[in-house]
Structure 1
Amino acid sequence: MFLWRAEVSPGVSVAFTDIHAGNLALHVGDDAAEVRRRRGALEEAAHLAPGSLRFMNQVHGATVEMMEPGTPSPTADAMVSRGLPLAVMVADCIPAVLVGQRPDGGPVLAAVHAGRPGIANGILPAAVERMRAAGAIGIRAWLGPSICGNCYEVPADLRAQVAEQVPSAWAETSWGTPALDLPAGARSQLEAAGVVVEYAGRCTLESDQLFSYRRSSITGRLAGIVWSHG
């Protein structure tokens, strides 16, 4: 179920799922009851209360929502909480999770859907800003599995457009055509914001243990999750 899982600070854990967790998205034509069952199994594996893991309606935008108890699932591409468990779903985009600490010792968490539009529009720096507004210091980031710069072929004009905003995203595929390196772009944005990147996952297209939209347009979604259990 988990490609990678770790307690990253006392009482706070981060994990990324693989294909064995199954598709976790409700928007890809899968049976909704089965998706909810899988989400429940994920919560159980993480020792979370049923229905407590918060998901977004992701739209490749730049909106960051602050999540409080009772806040409905937002239409956004990043969520921040003071401990509520958060999830982000992907099948080539970067599932980024961030963890900071308030001066009183409590956690500030974020889950970010960092695809090409999100990277270009600054969704990661916006999430960091919202975390700091919630009192976070010492923010660290974990970048889950996503398509790598060697594999993410794009038209030359699109590469130029994104690289104008995020120069570190400029790349070439392993076969010599224009590409974007989203993990490199994400890392540069986070480091510029003073955030330490602790982990970066493998390429989704290169691994048959992960969902990839580039491999098949009909595919599931894996999740990056972050939660407090202190």
Structure 2
Amino acid sequence: RVVWMNQVHGPDVAVVDGPWGSDDEIPAVDAVVTARRGLALAVLTADCTPVLLADPVAKVAAAAHAGRPGMLAGVVPAAVGAMVKLGADPARIVARTGPAVCGRCYEVPEAMRAEVAAIEPAAYAGTSWGTPAVDVTAGVHAQLERLGVRDREQSPVCTLESGDHFSYRRDRTTGRLAGYVWLD
């Protein structure tokens, strides 16, 4: 009883009440939301930020895939918005972000950093070696804060730095890490 996504680095969200059928095409979305107890929502990542959300009072959960393009397109605010439509209150939402490439390691061209910072200033970063960088997880947490989500925690693991985690940026070929959220 797991709901997977066809992740495409966009802002789209699917509200679900069960796994996809064997004949169903998995939709191209980067967030799934449910109010169904016992239904696990899954997000796959290597360097992108996995975002797991739950309102334990309203019994609404969400999983989101926030890479740089999805973060900029607003996938996390869209997921929270879908949760609110199902009765969630941002002040009660518990948010956890999992292992992702950190801002000290996500090197990008200066023009890309400027483009990202123009949309999400909190994502502006520099590498540990002094070049332009983007911190997607910091951008996600800033978005959550603006939405009123106060109970937030961030994994300290940088996928590029950790030999125990997959990183496409490090290896140029990789597997995926899975994050799951569900309601008891």
Using the size of structure 2 for normalisation, the TM-score is: 0.91
Structure-1 residue corresponding to 2:32: 79
Question: Please, which of 142, 146, 152 is the counterpart of residue 198 of structure 1?
Answer: 152
Q: Secondary structure at the match of 2:7?
A: coil
Q: Secondary structure at the match of 1:58?
A: coil
* Structure 2, gaps ≥5 residues long: none
Between Structure 1 and Structure 2, how many residues are aligned?
175
Would you say 1:115 and 2:115 are equivalent positions?
no
Task: Say if 1:56 and 1:87, in contact at 8 Å, map to a contact too.
Answer: yes
1:8-47 aligned at under 5 Å gives the runs none
Using the size of structure 1 for normalisation, the TM-score is: 0.73
What percentage of aligned pairs have identical amino acids? 50
Structure-2 residue corresponding to 1:11: none
| Alpha-carbon distance in structure 2 between the residues aligned to 1:62 and 1:223 | 19
| Alpha-carbon distance in structure 2 between the residues aligned to 1:70 and 1:198 | 27
Q: Secondary structure at the match of 1:215?
A: helix
Instruction: Return the offset for 1:209.
Output: 0.8
Would you say 1:224 and 2:179 are equivalent positions?
yes
1:1-230 aligned at under 5 Å gives the runs 52-69=1-18, 71=20, 72=24, 73-83=26-36, 84-101=39-56, 105-137=57-89, 138-201=92-155, 202-229=157-184
Instruction: Return the offset for 1:183.
Output: 1.2
AA at the equivalent of 1:110:
A
- Please provide the CA RMSD for this pair: 1.3
Structure with higher Rg: it is 1
Change in Cα spacing, 1:197 to 1:74, as seen in structure 2 (3 Å) is: farther
Instruction: Return the offset for 1:70.
Output: 5.4
Instruction: Return the offset for 1:227.
Output: 1.4
| Alpha-carbon distance in structure 1 between the residues aligned to 2:136 and 2:55 | 23
Structure-2 residue corresponding to 1:8: none
Task: Say if 2:5 and 2:27, in contact at 8 Å, map to a contact too.
Answer: yes
* Offset from partner CA, 1:166-222 (integer Å, 9 cap, x none): 001011000000000111111100000001243211110111110001111211000
